[in-house]
A and B are shown apart, each in its own frame.
Chain A
């Protein structure tokens, strides 16, 4: 029993490592090249962003449409560390990786902090009004960044060191999947799902919905911040206008076209829809027309998203596992036994 569970959690790690090895092999054979690698790196960052959005929109049922704001805070936060403060010219080469990781942490924390501060007053709002505020937040961050001269203002920051490579992206995507999956199936996740399904009932059950919403928002913002930091170190150039509402709506498209509430959906949505515009380059000016049509058709015929809520086996969790988890935390009472058959 225990061995198979352990195997189950180790398998995806092996699988990911094997996938990475395969890509490197293809590269050395000349079938894949830096252009493909770059697309994969963008897709990886987008997967992280979509997972982060999934936590808030998919699992907590909120309506955040300004998530690019967190991404930009993370991007700038980490870029300031590696480009302005601990520049490659002032630190020894051996320190580059620790500085890089530190910068990602800083980026994530900045985004999380802002997420928390924004969440406090606004998560009391419901539905569409929350959406507006998140949209406004995203744009205010962008407009604000445009004003700050030391980071390049509206012209952007060039020369961010190219620390991120495919291996790092793989690692962080895997870590994100790990953490998001586990938190979804913890009491936090259960509270979030309860809030999503029926907030009033959840409140009646004693769940402080505002508190859990804030936690969800902050956690999601942290991930988005780290993803933003990775992004900055892939493209080596960031400017506030990259993180506009267009980016936020791209993320929304990845999430809902892939299937919200499903981690697999986030992976599929981000991966597919990042590569599609590149693959369609041969269509020249009809490229985005076809992309738009594909999007509309997908939403019309699979409104739940491409995966329709399906989860890959290693991401899924069975009811038995949830029950066993819960049983571990609660003391045995006579009431427990009658519940055994139901769930």
Chain B
């Protein structure tokens, strides 16, 4: 019996290795015979999509995947991406980074080396792309962060791009809104374990004080697993601010809003892009979050025809409105597709060079041009939660 179990163990070990070492996706065959409509069929191009499909960020992952799937379906209906006279079938590979930096590096390695992707969409979190970006950079693969707003992201290297605005712009937009709304004093509660949260808070503080406002209280908590903000909020209550800025993740905001209201704080909240998730209103309680304004990459009320078309398609497919995550993922993928079309040679470097010179691409959230620092020049929208927990358009902010 002992021998049998030993043999079984060896077999198990070998099996594990074989599956882990499954051969890489082969380079697809060269162009085949021209089709009836005169188009040639090119090789299948693979694009990786990294998002938090599990773990605390999973809601975002759902929207990201749905956003890209919309594009995938459209391409499938057309048979692929038309570049010149060749149709290239596009395959999207969805990978889960569990909202963790380490997992993102693993997944990047897998997509780059195992699956031979030509470019990567995502992830959505600044800290994840900061950790994994160097891998894409040294391998020479374009990575487009969807909602990675921290400034340091594109500084990782010339293969790292993003589809969203950056924190200095966002902080200024939030501060300008708060100031224009008549708030003179502000308090902040932020997560000092998250580069995004800290960066956004610092940009807000800079902009708000420049406008003449005063930051009366700053409180921090260290980590996303913290649920108790009562201590910090008690201090904020004592400082009596006009408005409270909460540049935190959508898993932390609901409890902060709730606890603040339970403590008797009546000041309104202002947030950043991470507030743009429907679960936020539900978890926070509609009556608590009513009147909260936030900076968003996209407004479903945008009358622009491209935007409206996207909203309608999303609704038809999934029965709900898209949020910033969905839109930006879609746009990041569009940026890659457009770069493939414009590339001099269809390979990783070609895509990079094409993307760096992307101009006037008409996307649902506006027309974008990629700037010299690989940040897209685009505007934002301020949305506000109404009494039913539905975000409503307030004003556009342009760079």
Contact = CB atoms under 8 A, between A and B. Distances in A.
User: Are A and B subunits of one complex?
Assistant: yes
Interface of A: 30-36, 38-39, 146, 153-156, 158-159, 162, 235-237, 239, 241-242, 268, 272, 275-276, 278-282, 284-285, 301-302, 306
Interface stretch (B9-17, B29-37, B206-214, B283-291): B9-17
Contacts of B114: 33, 35
A281 B96 CA distance: 9
B113 A34 contact: yes
Contact of B20 (A162, A242, A275): A275
Interface stretch (B71-79, B189-197, B380-388): B189-197
Given A35-B110, A38-B106, A268-B13, A237 B20 contact: no
7 contacts: A34-B139, A154-B192, A155-B193, A158-B134, A162-B138, A235-B105, A241-B193
Given A30-B24, A237-B131, A275 B194 contact: no
B24 A33 contact: yes
Contacts of A278: 20, 106
B238 interface: no
B23 interface: yes
B115 to A, nearest CB: 9
Closest 10 pairs between A and B when the two form their complex, measured CB to CB: A154-B193, A279-B20, A34-B113, A279-B19, A237-B131, A33-B113, A35-B113, A35-B114, A155-B195, A275-B20
Contacts of B109: 34-35, 38
A302 B102 CA distance: 31
B102 A36 contact: no
B112 interface: yes
A239 B102 CA distance: 10
B13 A272 contact: yes
A212 B396 CA distance: 70
Interface of B is mostly: helix
B222 A32 contact: no
Interface residues of B, number: 37
A246 B33 CA distance: 54
Contact of B96 (A241, A268, A284): A284
Nearest to A310: B6
Contacts of B127: 155-156
Interface of B: 5, 9, 12-13, 16-17, 19-21, 23-24, 53-54, 96, 101-102, 105-106, 109-110, 112-114, 127, 130-131, 134-135, 138-139, 192-195, 198, 222-223
B194 A155 contact: yes
A92 to B, nearest CB: 21
A272 B19 CA distance: 12
Contacts of A36: 20-21
Contacts of A241: 193, 223
Contact of A272 (B16, B24, B195, B223): B16
Given A35-B109, A155-B195, A158-B131, 7 more contacts: A35-B110, A35-B112, A39-B20, A155-B193, A158-B134, A236-B134, A280-B19
Nearest to B9: A306
A155 B198 contact: yes
B101 to A, nearest CB: 6
Given A31-B21, A284-B96, A146 B102 contact: no
Nearest to A240: B193
B98 to A, nearest CB: 10
A158 B112 CA distance: 20
A36 B23 CA distance: 10
A33 B24 CA distance: 8
Contacts of B23: 31
Given A31-B21, A237-B131, A154 B222 contact: yes
A37 to B, nearest CB: 8
Nearest to B105: A235
Contacts of B193: 146, 153-155, 241
Contact of A276 (B16, B54, B223): B16
A43 to B, nearest CB: 10
Nearest to B20: A279
Nearest to B126: A155
Nearest to A275: B20
Contacts of B106: 38, 278
Contacts of A237: 101, 105, 130-131, 134
Contacts of A156: 101, 127, 131
A155 B190 CA distance: 13
A155 B195 CA distance: 6
B134 A302 contact: no
Contacts of A276: 16
B105 A279 contact: no
